[in-house]
Amino acid sequence: MLEECGFAMSIYDPIFARQPDVLNRTYDFITCTETAEHFHSPREEFDRLYTLLSPNGWLALMTQWADNEDLSRWAYARDFTHVCFYRQETMAWIATCFEYRLEIPSRNVALFQRPAKSSGDM
């Protein structure tokens, strides 16, 4: 859809679109839609996403939040491929950890903007 609007796109999925070369570039905008709940090593994956973002770049993350869910009854938690769950507070923690600017335009959606220059950049 975005390619049809003239945006250059790269796709990566470890199962369906395994193209490791796309992990060697940086991007102004990354979407992570209904995938973060599959992260077996969330810190490693969020580190990778950070390094893929250009300064001032945006990471758009969408996943079902477990804010007030009874996990034993929540259909989302019964999907055996869903191994990691997030809350709005988790999104704030991720933003703090990576010095992102965080916007939450709606439930289940977090927009993280990488700083132009972080305290760790030289």
Tens digit of each residue's pLDDT (9 = 90 or more) over 7-39? 888 887 776 777 888 899 999 999 998 889 989
When pLDDT is cut at 50, 70 and 90, the band that residue 122 belongs to is: very low
Q: What is the chain's mean pLDDT, rounded?
A: 89
Going along 21-90, which residue ranges are E strands? 27-33, 53-62
Show the domains of the chain with their CATH numbers: 24-113 (3.40.50.150)
CA–CA separation, 67 and 52 (whole Å):
28
Tens digit of each residue's pLDDT (9 = 90 or more) over 42-76? 999 999 999 999 999 999 999 999 988 788 888 88
User: Where is pLDDT greater, at 32 or 77?
Assistant: 32
State the average pLDDT over residues 84-113: 96
CA–CA separation, 64 and 104 (whole Å):
13
